[in-house]
Amino acid sequence: MHKIQQIISNYKNGIHDGIVSVCCSNKFVIEAAMDKLRDKDIALLVEATANQVDQFGGYTGMKPSEYRRFILELCKKNNFPEDRVVLGGDHLGPLTWRDIDPEQAMENAKELIRQYVMAGFTKIHIDTSMKIKGDSENNDFGDEIIADRAGILCSVAESAYKELIKENKDAIHPIYVIGSEVPIPGGAEGEEEGISVTKVENFKTTIETFKEAFKRHNVESAFDYVVAVVVQPGVEFSSETVCEYDREKAKKLSEAIKEYDSILFEAHSTDYQTKYALREMVEDGFVILKVGPELTFGFREGAFALNCIEEELLQYNDKFELSRFREILDFEMVKDSRQWEKHYVGSGRKVKLERKYSLSDRCRYYMPNEEVDFALNKMLDNLSKVDIPLPLISQYLPNQYRLIREGKLENTPIELLKSKIGEYIDDYLYAIRK
């Protein structure tokens, strides 16, 4: 049985635990998650999103097989058991090809799904919930089209698994996540006035429509592997705001999931919810909690703090050339604005602040940039060659200062950075395990 199927089975039997989905390709974030989970009996679910990793390389430059190799290398480096890692693919569908010919968009989506399954990803979020070219003009986009496209992609996934099992008889059958009301990846574009919880009738219609579509595309048996539906529980975040979870508003939806024996909810955009709200979400059936920008936000906070320490400590030391990490990051973001211009709007001063400090953390898209990566590693290398004074750590990373004083943290730049990220992971660990 797949690890997530076991969590769902346990939930249906009264054990309300969950799992956190780390949607990220940032190695420091993934290593921080490994540090937090290493001594716990909890699976590490790591998911690559369609725009991060695809058959063309995505914005990370990695294809699915390369991402899998990347994660397994981190397991070896960090002494984390490979058999406790679950690899997932998030928003797999025509998402990143919405503006091209629709037939080609679906052909690309088919190959995307095939490569993820063949690479050994066992949690597949089939996402056909967003309009592609021509849908608006035809004015008939809805559950039927969404489900039909999902059925097509599921048939590709099932065929790929049959091919994979010939190569590896121990390959685990993929589980599927479906949905018609899927939040935009990476947070809302602009400020949200309010978020509506998915209506019970819409949730039930989604299940029935997808079930019929799977049957129509001759993958009826694959519906047994559908473990979760993506719904809107009433949470979202944008550049400066967070829509908090209100379990009363989600009560009817939460009650409706009890009618299904092997399906629960997957919650997207749970970033920045309090640990208590996250715990309530798990109790209410939202057992898969997806988080991404919040963790890279923590990485960005830690990296900026270290950059301040570097400047304070080394700016007058002629043996070192400063990294200028923050300056180079912002320069590269200005040079290529495609990853943030739809998210950050308003006055020039406001946009300048949001480029660096926004909750949406569009900075994460620029970490693979050659200049940014070089500056980050130069900063870490500079700080690794000197003793970082405790007062400076107290000034910029006060929680890490306390951990060092208590003998719980090593005073090195990388450990400081991972510890800062770990503060955000702690909220999810509180939520997923009583």
Per-domain residue ranges of the chain: 3-291, 297-424
Contact 110, 156 (CB under 8 A): yes
In DSSP terms, 125 is beta-bridged to: 177
pLDDT over 80 (residue 193): no
pLDDT over 70 (residue 205): yes
β strands within 76-174, DSSP E: 85-92, 123-126
Supply the pLDDT for residue 13. Answer: 96
- Provide CB contacts within 8 A for 129, sequence distance 6+: 93, 146, 179, 180, 181, 182, 230
Average pLDDT over residues 253-274: 97
Question: Which of the 8 DSSP states describes residue 82?
Answer: G
pLDDT category, 136, cuts 50, 70, 90? confident
State the Cα–Cα distance between residues 47 and 434, nearest whole angstrom: 24
Supply the pLDDT for residue 52. Answer: 95
Contact 295, 22 (CB under 8 A): yes
Residue 44 dihedral angles phi and psi, to the nearest 5°: -100, 110
For residue 282, give the 3-state DSSP assignment.
helix
Contact 330, 371 (CB under 8 A): no
State the Cα–Cα distance between residues 205 and 143, nearest whole angstrom: 8
Contact 151, 216 (CB under 8 A): yes
Supply the pLDDT for residue 184. Answer: 66
pLDDT over 60 (residue 250): yes
pLDDT category, 265, cuts 50, 70, 90? very high
State the Cα–Cα distance between residues 155 and 151, nearest whole angstrom: 6
pLDDT over 60 (residue 102): yes
pLDDT over 80 (residue 124): yes
pLDDT category, 187, cuts 50, 70, 90? low
pLDDT > 70: percent of the chain: 97
pLDDT over 60 (residue 195): yes
Average pLDDT over residues 128-152: 92
For β-strands 264-267 and 242-243, DSSP reports them as unpaired
pLDDT category, 185, cuts 50, 70, 90? low
Question: Exposed, middle or buried by CB within 10 Å (0-12, 13-18, 19+), for 368?
Answer: middle
Which tokens go with 101?
Answer: 């010919």
Which tokens go with 390?
Answer: 């405790």
Which tokens go with 172?
Answer: 């685990």
For residue 233, give the 3-state DSSP assignment.
coil
pLDDT category, 188, cuts 50, 70, 90? low
What's the CATH number of domain 3-291, 3.90.850.10, 3.40.50.300, 1.10.3720.10, 3.20.20.70?
3.20.20.70
State the Cα–Cα distance between residues 401 and 419, nearest whole angstrom: 11
pLDDT category, 139, cuts 50, 70, 90? confident
Supply the pLDDT for residue 182. Answer: 82
pLDDT over 60 (residue 191): no
Task: Report how far apart the first and last C-alpha atoms of the chain are (Å, whole number).
Answer: 22
**Chain mean pLDDT for the chain:** 96
pLDDT over 60 (residue 284): yes
For residue 62, give the 3-state DSSP assignment.
strand
Considering the segment(s) 297-424 as one domain, its CATH architecture is: Orthogonal Bundle (1.10)
Question: Which of the 8 DSSP states describes residue 288?
Answer: E
pLDDT category, 107, cuts 50, 70, 90? very high
- For the entire predicted model, the pTM comes to 0.95
Residue position matching structure tokens 């920045």: 272
